Structure 1
Amino acid sequence: MPTTQQGSGGFVEVENGSGAANEVRDMRTTGLIRKDVLDSLRVIPLFGRVGESDLEELATHLIERRFPKNATVVEEGLPGDYMYVIRKGRAKVIKASEDGREKIMNFLEAGSFFGDMALLGDEMRSASVKTLEESVLLALSRRDFIDLLRQSPDLALSVIEELANRLRETNEQARSLSFQGVEERTRNLFERIAREDEAGSGQMMTPALTHQQIADMIGTSRETVTRAIKQLKESGWLAQEGKRYVTPSRTQ
């Protein structure tokens, strides 16, 4: 069942999670459209083709939630009543393995959205999402999401395109498992999840990962990943800082 929290705009229902939001701001009850929220929406690819009036309408239905690091936003196997857009911060998508381990499926950056599949299909959450750092998320309820899709053909088309992109990525990952060697799959994974170092060094760095987590993500054994990483280091393509890996800049 959702819990009720009090934000600056009034009481709102939000999903349960092991990491409660520090602050909830409900734009639906305040009736205010904040410029900073609109600016954030404009640069999110999902809303890139949405017109200004539809964007303003969308903004009035959003709930802004702030989560601490390591907070569970949605939990696998539970009903889903909200979809989320990451305004600031980063998160990871995880599933529980048969032996109870946490298996990382993907990483989400600012501008990413999640939780829509449970709303469209009236299904349970297919995975859990946890924050990797303090994050600001924009939540949209099932009812408002469906109403906005009906009202805005541009938004509906954007959602369809994003779902098609996800299917394409899934097909590419399946092809990778069938036709690529472990070293190439490891390299492709690092290229996909690395981002520019916050220190401004120009280096591309992955999140902190164990060899077992990497193995889970590319469908192989930990021992095989260890050998592949050793080969990538020996070739000069990969370096390591703690549990984070350094890859070449995308401009190189």
Structure 2
Amino acid sequence: MFKELSPWCQLPNNDWTSIIHQGTTKMIESGEVIYTLNEKAAFIYLIKGGRVRLFHTSHEGKEKALIIMCDGTFIGDSTLNDYHFESAITASPTVVVEFERKQFLLLLRNNPILMAQYANTLDRKAQTIALSNLLVACYDSETRVRYALFHLANQFGIPLDSDYKRIYMQFTQQELADLIGTSRVTVANLVNDLIQQGYIIKDGRYYIIPSVNNILPNE
């Protein structure tokens, strides 16, 4: 089941063209906060392109990433008493369509097809977060790193010769550590071990996976 659901939640085949004109399209640079935990939730955002990290921050200031939302998904819709239930920050240059919350819910109410499509995005998000929590609770750091690299190669990999794939999406080891619930040092050591064992190749700022299936952990 960990192979099927990626922490980079992406639903590019969902068709929202019929309502996009009802919102406001915005371009947001990487590293920009869109909203914060406990902020009044006035808007819902459709991600047209890019990546947004949803996270919680502990009282000690430690960040725990929940999920990375990508194209075809929504953010800003998880609320508690009309306040945001998590914080959101762009992990890359991102294009969103901003809807007023009441307007968006009205658009869905008047279109059963879109309502069903939206329900599917909520289901996918909930399943992904649940599986991510299961991985953190029950599996070691190497297993979590291997699954993360598997999904990166599948979703953001460019085919090269044979089974090789270059992961074109740039990410930091700290970002990966935050997502899988471990330290940056642990991720760095595990990545170096996988390089030495031939499971991945470092090519400048990019990683190449010689065999996507071989990167998977043995369970």
Question: TM-score when scaled to structure 1?
Answer: 0.64
The 1:125/1:68 distance shift into structure 2, 3 A limit, reads same
1:233 is aligned to 195
Q: Offset of 1:153 from its aligned partner?
A: 1.2
Q: Is the 8 A contact 2:38 2:85 kept in 1?
A: yes
Instruction: Spell out, residue by residue over 1:47-83, the C-alpha distance to the aligned partner (whole angstroms, 9 max, x if none).
Output: 37xxxxxx53x23421111223322222222011111
RMSD: 3.1
Higher relative CO (Cα under 8 Å, sequence separation at least 6) belongs to 2
Q: Offset of 1:93 from its aligned partner?
A: 2.5
2:6 is aligned to none
Q: Offset of 1:244 from its aligned partner?
A: 5.3
Q: Is the 8 A contact 1:204 1:248 kept in 2?
A: no
Counterpart secondary structure, 1:65: strand
Take 1:71 and 1:104, find their aligned partners in 2: how far apart are those partners?
15
Task: Name the amino acid aligned to 2:170.
Answer: P
Q: Offset of 1:208 from its aligned partner?
A: 2.4
Instruction: Spell out, residue by residue over 1:207-229, the C-alpha distance to the aligned partner (whole angstroms, 9 max, x if none).
Output: 3223x543332233445434422
Superposition pairs for residues 64-213 of structure 1, below 5 Å? 64-118=25-79, 122-194=81-153, 195-196=156-157, 203-210=166-173, 212-213=174-175
Task: Name the amino acid aligned to 1:150.
Answer: R
Counterpart secondary structure, 1:105: strand
Pick from 28, 42, 47 the counterpart of residue 15 of structure 2.
47
Task: Name the amino acid aligned to 1:128.
Answer: S
Q: Offset of 1:188 from its aligned partner?
A: 0.7
Q: Is the 8 A contact 1:107 1:193 kept in 2?
A: no
Q: Which has the larger radius of gyration?
A: 1
1:247 aligns with 2:215: no
Residues paired across the two proteins, number: 197
Take 1:226 and 1:174, find their aligned partners in 2: how far apart are those partners?
22
Instruction: Spell out, residue by residue over 1:1-33, the C-alpha distance to the aligned partner (whole angstroms, 9 max, x if none).
Output: xxxxxxxxxxxxxxxxxxxxxxxxxxxxxxxxx
Take 2:139 and 2:189, find their aligned partners in 1: how far apart are those partners?
16
Take 2:204 and 2:61, find their aligned partners in 1: how far apart are those partners?
25
Q: Is the 8 A contact 1:80 1:115 kept in 2?
A: yes
Question: TM-score when scaled to structure 2?
Answer: 0.73
Instruction: Spell out, residue by residue over 1:163-190, the C-alpha distance to the aligned partner (whole angstroms, 9 max, x if none).
Output: 2222222232233234433211111122
Task: Name the amino acid aligned to 2:194.
Answer: L
Q: Is the 8 A contact 1:68 1:135 kept in 2?
A: yes
Identity score, percent: 22
Counterpart secondary structure, 2:78: helix
Q: Is the 8 A contact 2:51 2:69 kept in 1?
A: yes
Take 2:58 and 2:202, find their aligned partners in 1: how far apart are those partners?
27
Any stretches of 5+ residues in structure 1 without a counterpart? 1-42, 49-54
Any stretches of 5+ residues in structure 2 without a counterpart? 1-10, 159-163, 215-219
Take 1:96 and 1:153, find their aligned partners in 2: how far apart are those partners?
36
The 1:205/1:191 distance shift into structure 2, 3 A limit, reads farther
Q: Offset of 1:139 from its aligned partner?
A: 0.9
1:219 aligns with 2:181: yes
